[in-house]
Amino acid sequence: MGEVSAYPDFVPWITSMRTWNARTLGERLDSLDAEAGVGFSFLKERFSTRVTRDASARRIDVTLLAGPFRRLTNRWSFHDDPGGTRVEFDIDFLFKARLLDALLAANFHRAVERLMNCFEDRARTLYGPDLAQNSPLAGATAAESK
């Protein structure tokens, strides 16, 4: 999840990714800024976020810098689980355009499920089909909010 520059390789609707301003904030704590190009059949947008990766707390926090949102925050949290690692994904957003907000709200759970599937498939590619115990997505589950 923290390797945002690779997202266009495995998340089909992310068409481009640019990162800059990478910095170390402390031991096992860093951040970077990222601009994602997103494309669907009728919609093409760009948005920029600040990504803070805290390995000690086992979480990744994302906050909005610019784009078509009034509000955007999300958090990936990683928790020990008997099956490997439980991954929680929490997101809160509001588009500036009411039509976009209504469109995504109607398909929100499906969109989050598709996103989690992209990350699970990526883990299988990186760690093998059995999702070895050290995989960050072994036993993954998602918790989302809007």
Confidence of residue 66 (pLDDT cuts 50, 70, 90): very high
Least confident of 3-7, 40-44, 142-146: 142-146
In a domain, 134, yes or no: no
The pLDDT score that the predictor gives to residue 37 is 95
Averaged pLDDT, 7-29: 96
The answer as to whether 34 is a domain residue is yes
On whether residue 48 sits in a domain, the answer given is yes
Q: What is the mean pLDDT of residues 101-107?
A: 82
76 in a structural domain: yes
Structural domain includes residue 141 = no
CATH of the domain at 56: 3.30.530.20
Rounded to whole angstroms, the Cα distance separating 117 from 122 reads 8
Q: Binning pLDDT at 50, 70 and 90, where does residue 131 land?
A: low
139 belongs to a structural domain: no
Instruction: State how many domains the chain has.
Output: 1
Q: Rounded to two decimals, what is the model's pTM?
A: 0.84
Paired sense of beta strands 84-95 and 69-81, if any: antiparallel
Output the average pLDDT for the chain.
Answer: 86
Check residue 142 and give its pLDDT. Answer: 44
Residue span of the structural domain in which 30 resides? 4-127
Which two three-digit tokens encode residue 110?
């499906």
36 pLDDT more than 60: yes
Split at pLDDT 50, 70, 90, the class of 100 is confident
Quick check: 135 pLDDT over 50?
no
Scanning the structure block, which residue is given the tokens 């976020």? 49
Higher confidence at residue 143 or residue 75? 75
- DSSP conformational letter for 5: G
pLDDT of residue 46: 96
